[in-house]
């Protein structure tokens, strides 16, 4: 994969949520909520400031993150589901 995000964007591989079964009911994939956890697989160079300098990204490649439920755009690259989100949509780094 040769995908390089621009500015303050991140390429994130969503982590699957653990499937929860209650009372023997299996929830189909189409009814499941969008994952809110992911692993950063690529980062952009940072947001361009008014001074012309770049702001350093707070997350790095390999970090596991929690992001907003409706954040970013879903894409498919080489058959793999990925998301492109802005760094400001990252709520926390799982450490």
Mean pLDDT of 46-66: 95
- Map out the domains of the chain as residue ranges: 9-16+26-94
CATH architecture of 9-16+26-94: Roll (2.30)
Residue 37 has pLDDT above 70, yes or no: yes
| CB-CB contact of 91 with 63 (8 Å) | no
| CB-CB contact of 9 with 41 (8 Å) | no
pLDDT band at 25 (very low <50, low <70, confident <90, very high): confident
């Amino acid at each position: 994969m040769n995908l390089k995000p621009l500015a303050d964007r991140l390429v994130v591989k969503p982590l699957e949520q653990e499937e929860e079964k209650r009372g023997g009911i299996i929830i189909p994939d189409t009814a499941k909520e969008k994952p809110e956890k992911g692993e950063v697989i690529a980062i952009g160079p940072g947001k361009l400031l008014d001074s012309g300098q770049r702001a350093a990204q707070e997350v790095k490649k390999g970090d596991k993150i929690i992001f907003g439920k409706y954040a970013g755009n879903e894409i498919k690259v080489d058959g793999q589901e990925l998301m492109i989100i802005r760094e400001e949509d990252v709520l926390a780094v799982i450490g």
